[in-house]
Amino acid sequence: MNGWYMHQLEHWPPSGFIQPLYVAFHLNKLAQDKLLLPQSINYFKTHQPIGW
């Protein structure tokens, strides 16, 4: 997965039916509060490595 995912914050995290391979990650001030929550960090950790 590569791109910007937070046009609608209520759609985070992605569906559990998706098995993501994160090759890039974008974070800006509009979404940082949601993406830096402990739940979001745990989500990323379950799908690491990111950016390899």
Under the banding of pLDDT at 50, 70 and 90, the label for residue 27 is: confident
pLDDT for 3? 61
Q: What percent of the chain has pLDDT over 90?
A: 17
Number of residues written out for the chain: 52
**Residue 18 is encoded by which pair of tokens?**
């998706």
Report pLDDT digits (tens) over 2-25.
666 667 777 788 888 988 888 877
29 or 7: which leads in pLDDT: 29
Tell me the chain's radius of gyration from C-alpha atoms: 10
Under the banding of pLDDT at 50, 70 and 90, the label for residue 42 is: very high
